[in-house]
Amino acid sequence: MTRLAVPKTYKLYVGGAFVRSESGRYDRVQDRNVPRGSRKDVRDAVKAARAAAGPWAARTAYNRGQILYRAAEALESRGDQLGVARPELEASIDVLVHYAGWTDKLQPVLGGINPVAAPFLSFSLPEPTGVVGIVAPEEPELLGLIAELAPALAAGNTVVAVLSEPRPLAALDLGEVLGVSDVPGGVVNLLSGRRAELAPVLAAHRDLNAIVDVSEDAELGAEIDRLAADSVTRVRHAARATRYDDAVADALGRLEAVVELKTAWHPVGA
């Protein structure tokens, strides 16, 4: 007897759970029904990311590296289910492994003792900026997202990502990969839908600390700048990564964009 195939139901990935859009709307994309995220979904995702930010930042750098490496392992084992070309999949895995190696190197590279001409000891330490928004490029749908996701996580931030509008399936599948890895719920939140509708709401959210725009859309980029300025949210506009070398060529620059340096002064001597 020929059985009927059970089509996959795609959902948003928010707070470690797979949820339907609050609005109940769907768009037909790549012959699948894909949830069309709403303004409320953006707010829910930022709330989940904020709740997860403290515990994620409090983990040791070594442990965050272990978790990113485990995510790379999970992507390696389930990658054939994501429907992307093998070179893009392999580059995405390698990018996760690369930034997993950065987690315990941020402090010695970015921090240190500051020479001062006074009887003080001054030193600086890098800290995560908090909740980071990502406006992913239209393509490559997986590598373009992971190239920005990995450094944000390595630096101890939580993430809310607006996915590729025409090709969101691989990134939504990534939520399933993260769900079976050790990434805590709320650390990564993935929203599909219409970029022009979701990205401005994300940029304007006052609980967002930084946003990375990889849309390469000048008009949208200007709107993000205007909205982010109201809440003094840090903005980075970046070209999309189309290969592994693009994603790691300026690794330190990507990391610096999502960290803050905390400087302390202590008196020395009498």
Predicted TM-score of the model (pTM): 0.92
Contacts of residue 220, defined as CB under 8 A and 6 or more positions apart, other chains included, come to 135, 195, 196, 199, 200, 213
Residue 43, domain member (yes or no): yes
Task: Give the residue numbers spanning the domain of 142.
Answer: 32-267
Which residues, at least 6 apart from 170, have a Cβ–Cβ distance to it below 8 Å? 82, 83, 84, 141, 142
**C-alpha to C-alpha distances, 253 to 73, 176, 260, nearest whole angstrom:** 26, 29, 13
Q: How far apart are the first and last CA of the chain?
A: 89
Q: Is residue 111 part of a domain?
A: yes
**What's the confidence (pLDDT) of residue 114?**
66
Domain count, the chain: 1
pLDDT at position 183 is 95
Tell me, yes or no, whether 212 lies in a domain.
yes
pLDDT score, position 242: 96
Whether residue 49 lies inside any domain: the answer is yes
Does residue 16 lie within any of the structural domains?
Answer: no
Q: What is the CATH number of the domain that holds 83?
A: 3.40.605.10
- 23 occurs within a structural domain: no
Residue 9 lies in a domain: no
Using DSSP bridges, classify how beta strands 17-19 and 120-128 pair: parallel, antiparallel or unpaired.
Answer: unpaired
Those residues of the chain that have pLDDT short of 70 are 111-114, 122-124, 269-270
* Residue 15 lies inside a defined structural domain of this protein: no
Q: Tell me whether residue 62 is exposed, middle or buried, using C-beta atoms within 10 angstroms of its C-beta: 0 to 12, 13 to 18, 19 or more.
A: exposed
